[in-house]
A and B are shown apart, each in its own frame.
Chain A
Amino acid sequence: MSGTFYTAGKIVRQSLPLLMLLVLLEIIAGQFLNTSEKILGMSSVLMLIPVVNGVGGNIGSILGARITSGLHVGYIEPKLKDRNLRKNLLLSLVLGGSVFLIMGIIIFVITRIMHFETDISIWRLLIIFLASGAILITVLCFICVASALYTYRKGLDPDNIVTPIVTSVGDFIGITSIMVMTLLIGI
């Protein structure tokens, strides 16, 4: 024993099982992409993936952190009807909607100024982006609330569980919605 508070062994043992489970979700998301040779060749659709997943995952993490802190401090009660819980949920939905709109405008401006050739029309690309963002944010916020309440009621510390779950599930939903939207309107 090294006599330190943190030990490499403890860090690995506590993280590895959850990481292995979550990487499977990411692999399934990757396999979805793997089935469509068309999408793998579409630069501008691929470009959307890190943006949608990054912003979605962060909105979920912020909501998760707020709810779990609220539960710990006691200003949120672990039930769906709680007023502060609903306020935080609404905040995340409004936040998500606004950030995706602004990012859509930024993507539009960048492609116009830099004269990027998009493989599909910029309008279709923006519709894919905004629609997948809307689906992701809505589903993810509800998953976030559900997993925070569930882990808290089970007596587990939601801090260790909610963020990893929300980001990995978020990647999965983000990629799936981009794929579905692209197949629906992009090609």
Chain B
Amino acid sequence: MTAQDLKTLWARVARATVSWQFVVPALAAVLAINWMASTSTSTMMTEIMIMALFASSLNLLMSFGHMVSFGHAAYFGLGAYGFTLAVVRGGVPPELALAIGPLAAALGGLVFGALCVRLTQIYFAMLTLACAQITYTVLFQWYDFTGGDTGITGFMIPRFGLSEKGYATAVLAVVTLCLLALWGIVKSPLGLSIRAVGQDRYRAEALGLGARRVQLVAFVIAAFFAGVAGTLYSVLHGAAFPDYAGLGITLDGLIMVVIGGLNSFAGGIWGGIIYELLATFVSKVIHEWELVLGLILLAICLVAPAGFAGVSARLRAMLGGIR
């Protein structure tokens, strides 16, 4: 293979190219549905997009860094509360407080992450759980500051007064930008390093990469984007509740990543979409939707471990398309 061939190959692999031919129609479709459908549909779509972002942030850790976090909801919650408390206790105008949510989450990611990356595998996961539960309990118990178990509500007009459709459009823009940023990160040298440490920590170290530092960076980035999701969610409902940092949301995120497809970039996106759609529609038909979810998960793990992304890749290969 000549040097030029190699460069071409590398460009295909490494450049953060976006298949605009798929993305643009998808965005257009979302905008169209949003415009035409009812307001409750718009709200549902907004929630889907937010969760897709949350799941994608976790996906960065899991699919690329091979780090399983049992406490990712902490950063979702910190994002929500960072924003909310800035407005309610800090007197910051909501527009500016939007930046504080993700920053609070990133800070949390830095502090907790610095401790957690000292461990690996199951102990790493357990410490992330401990950090998240401590966060949750503090939010739950510190009534005077965080509003305690009743949370904080009524401090702003939800969605900044935008209509459901308007907010959905705004969220679409923000989430798309965030996902593009994540894509760029994954394809960059940083992404390559994160993947290297994720695949073989000792090999990476022997080459000169400080595994802990790389993992910490990945952790903070993931926390940041989870925080963005949390802030957007808080604005959507005009409220913040301790459950935002609870184990439920963490498990939801884990389930989303697996459904969407471990070891793929779009796993978080697909997972968020599928999970939320299932949750909304299946629960209308059957009261015991978690039972259905459990069975679906079993099916995926046993039959299609690559999740939706894997299945769709196989379909595309079968239909003759090359990716």
A and B part of one assembly? no
Q: Which B residues fall within an 8 A CB radius of A?
A: none
Which residues from chain A sit less than 8 Å from chain B, CB to CB?
none
